[in-house]
Structure 1
Amino acid sequence: MYNRIVKQSITVSSSFTNVLTDGNTTSCISIVTTSSDSYVQIGNESLIVITGMYLFFGDNTTIAGNHKVYCSNTTDSWADGNVLYNAEYVNEDIDVFAVCKYVIYIPPILNGNSKIDICEIEIGGCPYGKYGDRCESTCPDHCIGSCDLKTGNCVFGCSSGWIGEKCDRACDEGKFGSQCLRDCSSNCLSSPCGHVTGQCKSGCMKGWEGLNCTEECSNGNFGLNCSDTCHGCIDNECNHISGVCKINSFCKPGYKYGTYCNEKCEAWHFGTNCNKMCYCLNTTCNIFTGECSISGCKKGWGGDSCDQVSAESSAMIRFGFFIGGSASMCFVLFIVWMVRNARRRILKNQESRKGLDTSHSNRVCPRSGKRRSNVMFNHTDQYEYCYKCARVLLEGDSSDSLYDHI
């Protein structure tokens, strides 16, 4: 890599430190004085992938000692950098691998007349995301980090949802995630899921939610996409699929009793299972607490929920009960008197009939002097007997024929 930006913090015989990256190994700079803070920095703000380096020194170099090279992401500092080289000068390629923004060369300390002629700091590599002989190719999109600078293969693996040497093949159906090792959720409404995140593309089955449909509906919700509510269930706890309340003996105040406790009380009703009524003046009460608005209660009612009979109405009701009770008692006594009176009349009539029946049983038919003791008369027979008897006498029939007629 040539023509990189070069800066220095050393005393040199030439100020043109850019010659260290011009690709010309015959143009050199001489370092005559060094300290512990002396360095030469190569690079800029863009990342570079370094796979090798070579240090060219001139023939006038007289100092022996360790030369250090760091790879750092902080300008003018190597404290947090990676050491690429730390040894005496060796006239050969140095294989390294690093990704950073800056390469920093630290020369050894010079003593007396010692000096260093450095002609080139050659860095092998490509800008981050590039590969090829001239770094002309772009690394595959789904590589993690940089790719191999020669082949373009993803040396650090693939991003989620992709596999292959160049991370150019999506996960097989039913798989997703890093290295395609994860299975799609069985709660997806339909398959396949997204091969990168595992997202259920068509949504979740009843009772499930979340990107991968792996989370049960939160308390108070159930059904498809968790869009139905069971807020009337005790503690908002219901089956996340069916919505049936876990405590199914009663619902929260303000809800009608039912399997799902999701139907609110009708107007003018409130409380547990909506079994209380309020008599607010203008608007209905709160279905949960029963509290009426500031407009107050209808006539005859009081309390926060207007469900208590007022003192005035209570007195009127007691008076009504008294009047109604008295009237009812009088009516009952009248009925008793009527029944007893009717009974007396019936008994009296029965005694009168017995007397008539006895007198008719001993009756003698006129002109014959004969008595029909075996003839019993009721009230009707008495009149019929007299009629027939008179008729026979007028026609002159004998007394014997009279008995034939009757």
Structure 2
Amino acid sequence: MQALSSSAVLQLFGFLIGLSSSLDPRDPNACSLWESYTTSVKESYSHPYDHVTEEPCSDPRTSYRCSRHRITYKTAYRQAVKTEHRRRYHCCPGYYESGGRCVPHCSKECVHGRCVAPNRCQCEKGWRGDDCSSSCDDRHWGPDCQKECKCENGALCDPVRGVCQCPPGFIGRLCEDSCPAGTFGKGCQQRCKCGNGGSCNKATGECTCQKGFTGTFCAKTCKGSCQPRCPCQNEGRCKGNGVCACLAGWTGAICTEQCPEGRFGKNCSEECVCHNGAKCDPLTGRCQCREGFTGNRWVWRKVWDVFRRHCTKL
């Protein structure tokens, strides 16, 4: 049998330790399951007793006596086995117990940083990379930072692999290409909503209207000199000087960017606590469960074969 990886061993150990310890149920990274167990109990029952008496027989011509049976019941006691159920708390996948709390596990050590979520490091100032081990600046990468980053349009280089991380509005291996017409944003994944011949800012999606039109999406007509318009999209509110106050679930200069994966709420300031591949609603933070999962944080119904019983909502 192939040996388990150190990461799998650590998570399995943390899971089993969590089953036997007292985790705080309010810990956002604690999951629960129901388990059955047996106890020996003393139970009462009605035990029948047969009372036998002798009485004159019904035939008066004989002197024989006949036996009469009368059944009575008395309370008796016996040992029995009773099945009970109890809820057990353990750390959700990607977390392990430490000091009574569920803390995230990073398969790679965060060399110059700390583990803030499963396999996600937060680096100290001056350090970069998935494991915070690179001291390369924005324009260099590789061993000893000897390789020069060739990314264009302000794109940053991954300090280990050298892959370009394109800013909104650009695509391509070196981020050399602007978004195609009608698209904008990170990876050019969003569609431009400007009407009446208006053009879209490739990075933010803000509309530039043709003469005679105004409004967020250039949908209103105007004569002569058009009044200043609010560029905020997705029901964002203009605060003046081109600053937008975005609704929960949205961010960006004019509120065109949904919260990135793992974040939700106003200004995307809240961190999601969904597990087992569940997606987080960027507005409310509610987990959108995959098939085979349930619960407020989508606890797995089948926590390994040994614990396949009654996983329930937290």
Category of TM-score, reference length = shorter chain: under 0.3
- Name whichever structure is richer in strand by fraction: 2
TM-score (normalizing by structure 1):
0.19
TM-score (normalizing by structure 2):
0.23
Which one has more relative contact order, counting CA pairs under 8 Å at least 6 apart?
A: 2
- Name whichever structure is richer in helix by fraction: 1
